[in-house]
């Protein structure tokens, strides 16, 4: 389980996360919604141990991310795909996917390569294994990013606006892959603006507003009643969202 307890993160005088608590149990898909600047990416970075906490605690399967030795172990349990495709530009698609399992997990090259090719095939990129990132479209790059995360066989997959830089067609491609991962039981923490998609795949929806987690509800309840809509901030947020074309 990922457990976020009373987390405070400040940048200068600004409390970007202000007492955030959240749990994600195996098998859950938890979507984090919230306006730009509400702290979503910061929360993901804190779970990864990329930011020093100013208060509270985060554990991944009991491992405290504030403790460097435990963080190293925790990082093997979760993998993150970011908004911008952080692929290594000087490495082929295949190498981008095989690097961490070989170097970090020290697994045998042949085995890792076979798995990487299967992953790439599963996202329709079997024939792009030897291409370089610059030769791919944005949607293809993001699919490679997802393969790279999955190659670590993570228990938790963290996704930070993986479709926000993509056009609608590429967004649909990437969402289709995420939908399949959810069907396969992958545990996810999903930061997105694709509200309709989130509604279909999430176990729970949480809403961040100015660094505070103001709502944490099962998906149906979030959209159905009180939960979401009674909150003026959430109502305002949802009213600005456009449904995903052809997805619902
Ligand atoms: N390294 C940093 N130094 C200073 N301020 C930062 C830093 N990183 C984030 N912030 C500030 O923290 C706040 C939350 O940023 P964050 O990136 O978490 O928002 P977000 O919810 O992910 O927004 P978006 O939807 O635009 O991605 C913003 O006001 C941002 O300017
Ligand atoms: Mg962000």
- Phi and psi for 144 in degrees, rounded to 5? -65, -40
Could you give the CA distance from residue 154 to residue 26 in angstroms, rounded to a whole number? 11
For residue 247, pLDDT over 50 is answered with: no
Q: Residue 239: CB partners within 8 Å, gap ≥ 6?
A: none
Name the range with the highest mean pLDDT among 9-13, 179-183, 192-196: 9-13
Among all bound ligands, the one having the nearest atom to the CA of 16 is 1
- Evaluate if residue 103 carries a pLDDT over 90: yes
Half-sphere exposure of residue 206: CA atoms within 13 angstroms, side-chain side: 24
* Structural contact between residues 177 and 143, judged by C-beta atoms closer than 8 angstroms: yes
Residues 6+ apart with CB under 8 A from 229: 223, 235, 238
pTM of the model: 0.90
User: Which residues crowd ion ligand 2, with CB under 5 Å?
Assistant: 40-41
Residue written as token pair 């996917």: 97
Starting from the CA of residue 43, give the closest ligand: 1
Name the pLDDT band for 228 (thresholds 50, 70, 90). Answer: low
Looking from the CA of residue 51, the nearest atom of ligand 1 is 1
Ligand 1: which residues within 6 Å by Cβ? Answer: 11, 16, 34, 36-42
The whole-number average pLDDT for the span 83-104 is 91
More confident: 215 or 246: 215
Per-residue confidence (pLDDT) for residue 44, from 0 to 100: 96
Mutate to test the pocket of ligand 1, among 4, 38, 164 (most ligand atoms within 8 A of CB): 38
CA-CA distance, 2 to 159, in Å (whole number)?
14
pLDDT on residue 239 = 80
Q: Would you state the pLDDT for residue 134?
A: 94
Give tens-digit pLDDT for 141-169.
Answer: 989 999 999 999 899 999 999 888 788 88
Q: Please list, in sequence order, all residues whose beta carbon lies within 8 angstroms of the beta carbon of residue 222, skipping any fewer than 6 positions away.
A: 204, 205, 207, 215, 228
pLDDT of residue 248: 37
Q: 216 alpha carbon to ligand 2 midpoint, in Å?
A: 19
């Amino acid at each position: 389980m990922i457990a976020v307890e009373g987390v405070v993160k400040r940048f200068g005088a600004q409390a970007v996360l202000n007492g955030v608590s959240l749990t994600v149990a195996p098998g859950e898909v938890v979507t984090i919604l919230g306006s730009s600047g509400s702290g979503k990416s910061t929360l993901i970075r804190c779970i990864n141990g990329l930011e020093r906490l100013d208060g509270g605690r985060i554990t991944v399967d009991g491992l405290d991310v504030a403790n460097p030795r435990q963080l190293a172990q925790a990082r093997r349990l979760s993998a993150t795909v970011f908004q911008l495709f952080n692929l290594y530009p000087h490495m082929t698609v295949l190498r981008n996917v095989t690097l961490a399992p070989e170097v970090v997990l020290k697994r045998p090259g042949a085995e890792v390569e076979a798995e990487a090719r299967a992953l790439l095939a599963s996202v329709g990129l079997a024939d792009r294994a030897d291409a370089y990132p610059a030769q791919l479209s944005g949607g293809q790059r993001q699919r490679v990013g997802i393969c790279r995360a999955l190659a670590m066989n993570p228990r938790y997959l963290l996704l930070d606006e993986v479709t926000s830089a993509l056009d609608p067609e590429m967004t649909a491609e990437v969402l289709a892959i995420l939908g399949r991962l959810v069907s396969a039981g992958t545990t996810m923490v999903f930061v997105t603006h694709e509200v309709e998609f989130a509604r279909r795949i999430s176990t729970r929806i949480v809403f961040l507003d100015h660094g505070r987690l103001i709502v944490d509800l099962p998906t149906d309840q979030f959209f159905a009643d009180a939960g979401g809509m009674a909150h003026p901030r959430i109502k305002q947020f949802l009213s600005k969202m456009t449904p995903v074309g052809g997805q619902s």
